[in-house]
Amino acid sequence: MWNPIQKIQTAYHETLVELKKCTWPSWNELSESTVVVVVSVAILSIFVASADWVAQAVVQLLTVKL
């Protein structure tokens, strides 16, 4: 008969075994990666805001003149 508790225990054990095989970043690598992500998000948001502003200005210019 199918035992769901046994399947959950097996999945949990296999997950722990796989996590032990992983290489985890050091705190230095983690902080550097975090800075890269934050700076990238800031640059992308500035770009998106600028593109939105330009698109808004173009649409307003075209619709007000007509």
Q: What are the tens digits of pLDDT across the range 33-65?
A: 999 999 999 999 999 999 999 999 999 999 986
Q: What percent of the chain has pLDDT over 70?
A: 95
Domain range for 56 is 37-66
Answer whether residue 7 is part of any domain.
no
Cα–Cα distance measured from residue 63 to residue 66, given in angstroms and rounded to the nearest whole number: 5
Answer whether residue 2 is part of any domain.
no
Q: Is the pTM of this model over 0.95?
A: no
Answer whether residue 61 is part of any domain.
yes
Answer whether residue 25 is part of any domain.
no
Answer whether residue 63 is part of any domain.
yes
Answer whether residue 12 is part of any domain.
no
Cα–Cα distance measured from residue 54 to residue 60, given in angstroms and rounded to the nearest whole number: 10
Answer whether residue 18 is part of any domain.
no
Radius of gyration of the chain (CA): 25
Query: Does residue 66 carry a pLDDT above 70?
Result: no
Answer whether residue 64 is part of any domain.
yes
Q: Which residue has the tokens 């805001």?
A: 49
Question: What's residue 1's pLDDT?
Answer: 66
**What is the tally of structural domains in the chain?**
1
Question: What's residue 28's pLDDT?
Answer: 97
